A and B are shown apart, each in its own frame.
Chain A
């Protein structure tokens, strides 16, 4: 028996970890803490406040939460509300709903049609976002776009989607883009449920709805919770809709990610931009903590 059961001594293992540790400290941990400090200053890119930013206390936060104006178009509160609509519409209803529907419908299928649907959904998920954004720009074009061509052939009205229904457009865009994740997660979870559970239910004459409610949903509960948290986190932070609408028309699709970009990175108001980023990251922190709590508990169980 050897006394030592690890191959690397403590110093050597620290040396192995150090390249990653430096990068992570610099580009993940430092930004997280520096942003709290920056949010209490009036730092900017150019001008007198670039080199010598001043401490302004809670001024940036007071600007964001100025309840007289914050619900105006292009302001913080309105942006949060739009983001909530976007997350509920495209992630919780769109991606999770459609992903669950596909996973359930093709649960026992093997053939060509299942393969086709899965492949297309995955392709939509992996193609680079700038390409996808142009694909949707072409798809939604009021005169030549595929969508309106189809609607026209069916004798239906053909609106200018991005101008008339901007929020609906980015909700469909993001549902289309991200459904693959929920679909794959749910179908792998469904695949791990023993078929005997459902066969027993069938023998005693349970209806499809009863099987869903009493067998599948309880078994899928953790998977569904995991999925909802992760896609909420990603959708809350996604910047892709900017590539389709630029946040417009008239700020009607200015999600919180786009509002942060405009304030902090286009107008270079780092102080105010940091204050927005602090709030966004605190929301991220809550969501990510719930996710880790669920997944740790599952590992233990």
Chain B
């Protein structure tokens, strides 16, 4: 297909405009964390420094949130979702339950409907009545419940793509179902479990609403909420600290997405975003 020079110039100009549109709001985070005198203005630092990071490292609550609370919550969601969704997908795929695709669709339907602030009203009451308010378990269980339908949906693709012959051979030689799952299926399913685990971790790491509502104790808040202590009370944000903290908090998400993109490519998994 031939393209006129005019067309090519037009597309290049559009690309540059779009790049500026997407980059402009982000540019601040590239320079401000290393600037000796950061402000809201985007500028090349006059002199580079790591002092802004010291400011954050000296703040115990912020550090606790970033290096203890957020990893506990996100790690917990990740383990629970990976474990439960692998088991469920395997059970649905290799079992003899009727209407398995209907079950998956109904679950996806529920997870799309029970979402956002609307779902937080009954979940708050439920967590409160279960005595899980202000606990890590409460946040982990809530997030895992919300993430499971999509994760099972993704896992099913991987289970369905696995040949049954090894499992059948293991069954003939007398292995129990749990042994077959652990020793035969799990090693083959590892890529799928990785994808589901990373998506669950990233989703929990960035989540703001659920911990905002279910955790009030400042010592237990994840980084997404702790971020706000640098905002100050009367619109007087601590800009050096925000710049440094934002970068530290974002880094794991960017690295995990790079990993997933490099290993598996950016796929759609049934058009459902985690």
Contact = CB atoms under 8 A, between A and B. Distances in A.
Interface string A35-72: 10010000101000000000000000000000000000
Interface in B87-114: 87-88, 90-92, 94-97, 105, 107-114
Secondary structure call for the B interface = helix
Given A17-B92, A31-B126, A284-B113, A260 B118 contact: yes
Given A105-B14, A106-B11, A265-B117, A8 B91 contact: yes
Secondary structure call for the A interface = helix
B176 to A, nearest CB: 9
B254 A260 contact: no
A63 to B, nearest CB: 16
A14 B12 contact: no
Interface residues of A, number: 101
B22 interface: yes
B190 interface: no
Contacts of B119: 31, 277, 281
B246 to A, nearest CB: 5
Interface of B: 1, 3, 11-12, 14-16, 18-19, 21-29, 39-42, 80, 83-85, 87-88, 90-92, 94-97, 105, 107-126, 128, 141-142, 144-146, 148-149, 152, 164, 167-168, 171, 177, 180-181, 202, 205-206, 208-209, 213, 224, 227-228, 237, 242, 246, 249-250, 253-254, 257, 266, 268, 270-271, 273
Interface of A: 6-10, 12-17, 19-21, 23-24, 26-32, 34-35, 38, 43, 45, 101-102, 105-106, 108-109, 113-114, 116-117, 120-124, 126-132, 134-136, 138-139, 141, 144-147, 149-150, 176, 181, 184-185, 188, 195, 198-199, 202, 226, 230, 233-234, 237-239, 243, 257-258, 260-261, 264-265, 270, 273-274, 276-277, 280-281, 284-285, 287-289, 291-292, 295-296
